[in-house]
Chain A
Amino acid sequence: MAERAFSATRLPGFATIAVVVFLVLYLPIFTLVIFSFNDANSVAIWGGFSLRWYQIAWANDDVKEAAVRSLIIATSAALIATTVATMAALGTTRRAAFKGQTLIYVIINQPLMVPEIVTAVALLIFFGFIKVTTGYQGLGYLIAAHSAFCVPFAYLPIRARLEGMDLSLETAAADLYATPWQTFRKVTLPILLPGIIAGAMLAFVISLDDVVITEFVKSGGQDTLPTYMLGQIRRAVTPDVNAISTALLVLTVLLLTAFFLLTRRRD
């Protein structure tokens, strides 16, 4: 193949850097997985192979519930944030600049611009007021807060994908008397999909990591995995957290692989 000799897409050194990046990314993760099988009472000193932290984590309802709660919040927040962010991205790109467009852009990116503790205090006061007035203390507050700060993380990759996307296909579809919805479903959405997936993944990951806002918004019995760990930091973080993280990681990898294989077959 002639392409082998000169591939236009090959840039010298890029592949090497990428491979090194992947290796470095997984080094700490492997450490985490290995130490979850550690027999010692420590997250840092190796004391032989054992499954005891898995047993301890499994017996610890608090940590299990916190993990499940984290996943529920992250999934809901990613879905909501990605949906509204996709709409907003469609609304703010590829049309003539309109009055207030910059304002929309600033508001959407606002959660990025203040440290979490500030949003946390603001939400504490605001939601505290609503909690007292309505008496509702459910998970809705956390989901709303997470969805909101995930919006910019979902919006930016989608917008980056949309910007300069070729309009001719959609115009062609419209010329063939496709309704705007059909055009969106059959033409725009498939082209947009990589951006949406990137945005949704970012939103999910960001929600899963959040500590400060969650700490201030949560009601009784609503600890997530990060706030559970935050509470442990002053004393000692116990290795059962390593075990539950590894278990979650394996679960997500399995789910993703299944998803990946299924979508591939459909292609």
Chain B
Amino acid sequence: MKTLMTATALLLATSALASAEGVLNLYNWGNYTSPELLAKFEAETGIKVTVTDYDSNDTALAKVEAGGSGFDLVVPSANYVPIFVEKGLIQELDLTRLANHGNIAPEWVDVPWDKGRKFTIPWQWGSTGIAVNTSVYKGDPNTSAVFLQVPDELKGKINVVPEMNDIVNLAIMFVGGEPCTEDTEVLKKARDALLAAKPDWLSMDYGATEKMSNNDWAASVNWNGSSMRIRLANPDVVFGFPREGYPLFMDSVALLKDAQNVDEAYKFLDFIMIPENAAMISSFARYANGIAGSEPFMPEDMKTAPEVVVPEEFRAAGRFLPTCSPKATEYVTAIWTELQK
């Protein structure tokens, strides 16, 4: 008992030292940070990065807002960045301390959620589309009709990821509306489309990488990076970009207002804007980054991957979800509750 108490005391003491020199606390999505990247960073700077995982923007927001958890950097999605800014949770970056800031690809500098990249540095971006096993369904995968007007071959074999904003907005765009719309006529149509399609769905679950590789599902609303992994395991699987409109996402790194290791954080932010390092991030999680000149360092199989390099004809249909107004969120939540009741 006594030894246990000593051990506990020791442990409590050591974990309280987390803000000592040469450390950095990164709060990021799980399975999203390349260990090689961190090893390289530590080798070059002597700074040890501790990664703590989260699984949703809302969890990350709530935790950061509650404060005191000792994180320095957080990686929110595009539509959450304005919320972090408005609530005063992240600080404006001192661009003079970021020598590599010019490496951000021009199209990713003046983004709607952070004009001029004053608060956030690109981490990775991708799209939500539909992965289809062509040995089961030979039709056109590039439409939301695959899950909203399920073709006979896919009835009872298709999965829909339980991501409220992605799914409801895919339906809204399918019926001709704008993401986060407050137009009740459009919302009604989107709701009806979802309710009518639901009986044909097999499940609403995560894990497409696994379950499409082993044929549990013949199709799934899915993210492009995950679809690429599936294709490598099961060449029959293609990724469709719904032409009616599909959500894009970009997760960007931001410096928290109560960060304790600010110098280390700046070093890290500058480090990930070096093309070679940005490519390391991409090759781990299989999503594109926003750094110009990273292409030559990307793994061969990603340079030409149709999931990552969006075909020209589908580019325009990709939309970043805006930060929905409270009213729009209320609508979306009501539709979602109706759908899952």
Residues of A bordering B, CB below 8 Å = 41-45, 60, 62, 72, 75-76, 79, 121, 124-125, 127-132, 135-140, 143, 215-216, 218-223, 227-238
The answer to the question of B18 belonging to the interface, with a C-beta cut-off of 8 Å to chain A, is: yes
Contact A231 B70 (CB under 8 A): no
Find the B residue at minimum CB distance from A75: B4
Partner-contacting stretch, out of B9-17, B180-188, B236-244, B264-272: B9-17
B66 contacts the other chain (Cβ, under 8 Å)? Answer: yes
Contact of A139 (CB < 8 Å), options: B11, B27, B206: B11
Distance in angstroms from A117 CB to nearest chain B CB is: 10
- Can you list 21 A-B contacts with CB-CB less than 8 angstroms, sorted by A residue number? A41-B233, A121-B62, A125-B66, A137-B16, A137-B18, A138-B13, A139-B12, A216-B63, A219-B52, A219-B70, A220-B27, A221-B25, A221-B50, A221-B51, A222-B52, A230-B53, A230-B55, A231-B53, A232-B30, A234-B206, A237-B207
The yes or no answer to B54 lying at the interface (CB within 8 A) is: yes
**Which 8 residue pairs are nearest across A and B when measured between Cβ atoms?**
A231-B30, A131-B68, A231-B53, A128-B66, A220-B25, A236-B209, A221-B50, A220-B70
> B140 interface residue, CB < 8 Å from A?
no
> Which residue of A43, A45, A62, A221 has the most chain B CB atoms within 10 A of its CB atom?
A221
- Expressed in whole angstroms, the Cα–Cα distance for A186 and B211 within the complex equals 57
Minimum CB–CB distance from A142 to chain B (whole Å) comes to 10
List the A side residues contacting B29 at CB < 8 Å.
231, 234
Could you tell me if B63 and A234 are in contact, using CB atoms closer than 8 angstroms?
no
Q: Which residue of B lies closest to A121 (CB)?
A: B62
Q: If the complex has contacts A137-B16, A138-B12, A230-B53, are A45 and B209 also in contact, measured as CB distance less than 8 A?
A: no
Do A139 and B15 touch (CB < 8 A)? Answer: yes
Give complex CA distance A75, B209 in Å: 35
Contact call A42/B11, Cβ cutoff below 8 A? no
Cα–Cα distance between A228 and B55 once the two chains are bound (Å): 9
**Which residues in chain B, 191-247, are within 8 Å of chain A measured between CB atoms?**
206-207, 209-211, 213-214, 216, 225-226, 229, 233
CB distance from A81 to the nearest CB of B (A): 15
Q: Tell whether, in the assembled complex, residue A43 and residue B210 are in contact, meaning their CB atoms are under 8 Å apart.
A: yes
- B235 CB to closest chain A CB (Å) equals 15
Contact: A124 with B63, CB < 8 Å?
yes
- Is there an interface contact between B27 and A132, defined as CB atoms closer than 8 Å? no
Within 8 A of A (CB), among B105-146: none
A128 and B69 contacting across the interface, CB-CB below 8 Å: yes
How long is the Cα–Cα vector from A210 to B146 in the complex, in angstroms? 37
| Residue-wise interface mask of B (13-57) relative to A, using a CB-CB cutoff of 8 A (1 in contact, 0 not) | 101101000000101011110010000000000000011111100
A234 with B62: CB separation less than 8 A = no
> Bound complex: CA of A1 vs CA of B214, how far in Å?
56
What is the interface of chain B, defined by CB distance below 8 A to chain A?
Answer: 4, 8, 11-13, 15-16, 18, 25, 27, 29-32, 35, 50-55, 59, 62-63, 66-72, 206-207, 209-211, 213-214, 216, 225-226, 229, 233, 285
Interface centre among A41, A42, A235 (most CB of B within 10 A): A235
Do A220 and B71 touch (CB < 8 A)? yes
CA separation between A232 and B25, bound complex, in Å?
Answer: 19
8 further contact pairs, Cβ within 8 A, besides A127-B68, A138-B11, A220-B52:
A44-B214, A215-B55, A219-B15, A219-B68, A228-B30, A231-B53, A233-B207, A234-B29
Cα–Cα distance between A243 and B216 once the two chains are bound (Å): 23
Task: Give the distance in Å from the alpha carbon of A233 to the alpha carbon of B206 in the complex.
Answer: 7
B70 to chain A, nearest CB (A): 4
Asked whether, in the complex, the Cβ of A219 is within 8 Å of the Cβ of B30, the reply is no
Contact, CB under 8 Å: A219 / B69: yes
Which of B15, B55, B216 sits near A137, CB closer than 8 Å?
B15
On whether the beta carbons of B31 and A231 are closer than 8 Å, the reply is yes
Measured between beta carbons, the chain A residues less than 8 angstroms from B50 are: 220-221
Bound-state CA distance A236–B207 (Å) is 6
CA distance A75 to B7 in the complex (A): 12
CB <8 Å contact, A235 and B52: no
The answer to whether A235 touches B59 (Cβ under 8 A) is no
- Contact, CB under 8 Å: A60 / B35: yes
Are B226 and A235 interface neighbours, CB within 8 A?
Answer: yes
A45 touches B52 (CB 8 A): no
Nearest-CB distance from B64 to chain A (Å)? Answer: 10
* Residues of chain B lying within 8 A (CB to CB) of residue A42: 210, 213-214, 233
Question: Are the C-beta atoms of B18 and A232 separated by less than 8 Å?
Answer: no
Q: Which residue of A lies closest to B50 (CB)?
A: A221
Shortest CB distance A124–B (Å):
5
Residue pair A222, B15 in contact (C-beta under 8 Å)? yes
Distance between Cα atoms of A232 and B72 in the complex (Å)? 21
Q: Are A234 and B70 in contact (CB under 8 A)?
A: no
The answer to whether A235 and B31 touch across the interface, beta carbons within 8 angstroms, is: yes
Is A132 in contact with B67, judged by CB distance below 8 angstroms? yes
Closest residue on chain A to residue B48 by CB atoms:
A221
Contact B54 A231 (CB under 8 A): yes
Question: Of all chain B residues, which has the CB nearest A238?
Answer: B31
Whether B213 lies near A45 (C-beta < 8 A) is: yes
Contacts A45-B213, A138-B12 given; does A216 touch B18 at CB 8 Å: no
B30 touches A234 (CB 8 A): yes
Given A42-B210, A220-B71, answer yes or no on A235-B233 (Cβ-Cβ < 8 Å): no
**Given the contacts A215-B54, A219-B70, A221-B25, A235 and B16 also touching, CB distance less than 8 Å:** no
Which residues of A are found within 8 Å of B62, using beta-carbon distances? 121, 124, 216
| Distance (whole angstroms) from the CB of A14 to the closest CB of chain B | 37
Closest chain A residue, CB of each to CB of B30: A231
